[in-house]
Amino acid sequence: MKGLLLKDAYTFAKQGRYLFFIELLFLGIYLFAGGSYAIALNPFFIFSVILPLSMTTWLNTTDEIERWPRYACSLPCTRKQIVTARYLTSGCAAVLFAGIAAAAHAIRSAVAGGFSPRESAEVFLFLFCAGMVAPLLSLPLLYRFGSEKARVFLLVIFAVLFGILIGTLSIAERSAIPNSVVKIAALPAVLLLWVGSWALSVRIYRKREL
């Protein structure tokens, strides 16, 4: 399992570095050029949510181009472990980019004199949950149809993710329920989705001809 995770990390570090550069660009704009604090309206936060999906899709596409699944069959690992490693990689990506965004939010709030650890924690939690939704929806499709055929579905997922992001924030603002409760309630929902998506992907990948 450790080897599979390292393989994903090395692959993305070698071929997906430009995504980190774009993230740093948006980070600089957010910190020094102003902009909205609202999560749903700020390009930096939106990109931090999209990055885990981009990273997951990139890794799956690279695996197919390099015919990694065929080579993996000769290694001492099961198909279940291969799928699990990809899900863990997606989770690590969501934690990383949500952490960067939450840290940036905390720094900007501190400079403005309104730093709140609770608010920064809520920003991290919400961005982590939002960042996990797209990979969890896309991975079963990627394993079932492959990267080429799944592109149309991925566009739909982008639209659904953005709709969920806007809708959740709108409901939280209009509802009598505090925003913190809505954001905390999203975590168990994402964990349930993680388990269901992982089980479905394992089942699909076990039956797939490599």
Q: H/E/C letters for each residue in the chain?
A: CHHHHHHHHHHHHHHCHHHHHHHHHHHHHHHHCCCCCCHHHCHHHHHHHHHHHHHHHHHHHHHHHCCHHHHHCCCCCCHHHHHHHHHHHHHHHHHHHHHHHHHHHHHHHHHCCCCCHHHHHHHHHHHHHHHHHHHHHHHHHHHHHHHHHCHHHHHHHHHHHHHHHHHHHHHHHHCCCCHHHHHHHHHHHHHHHHHHHHHHHHHHHHHCCC
Q: Find the mean pLDDT for residues 30-52.
A: 70
Token pair recorded at residue 174? 């209009």
Print the domain residue range for 132. Answer: 2-207
pLDDT at residue 131 greater than cutoff 60: yes
The pLDDT value given to residue 196: 93
Token pair recorded at residue 207? 């039956």
Q: Cβ-count burial of 145 within 10 angstroms (0-12 exposed, 13-18 middle, 19+ buried)?
A: middle
pLDDT tens-digit profile of 106-117?
888 887 777 778
Quick one: what percent of the chain has pLDDT higher than 70? Answer: 81
The pLDDT value given to residue 177: 46
The pLDDT value given to residue 166: 63
The model's pTM: 0.81
Q: Work out the pLDDT band at 10, boundaries 50, 70, 90.
A: confident
Radius of gyration (C-alpha) of the chain in whole angstroms: 18
Average pLDDT taken over every residue of the chain:
78
The pLDDT value given to residue 176: 46
Give yes or no for a contact between 183 and 126, defined as CB atoms under 8 angstroms apart.
yes
Domain count, the chain: 1
When comparing pLDDT for 174 and 132, which is higher?
132
Give yes or no for a contact between 163 and 102, defined as CB atoms under 8 angstroms apart.
no
pLDDT tens-digit profile of 195-208?
999 999 999 988 87
Q: Find the mean pLDDT for residues 86-101.
A: 89
Instruction: Specify the range with the lowest mean pLDDT, choosing from 32-36, 91-95, 129-133.
Output: 32-36
The pLDDT value given to residue 201: 92
Q: Work out the pLDDT band at 96, boundaries 50, 70, 90.
A: confident
Instruction: Specify the range with the lowest mean pLDDT, choosing from 68-72, 122-126, 129-133, 150-154.
Output: 150-154
When comparing pLDDT for 154 and 67, which is higher?
67
Give yes or no for a contact between 124 and 181, defined as CB atoms under 8 angstroms apart.
no
pLDDT tens-digit profile of 166-195?
666 555 555 544 455 556 667 788 888 889
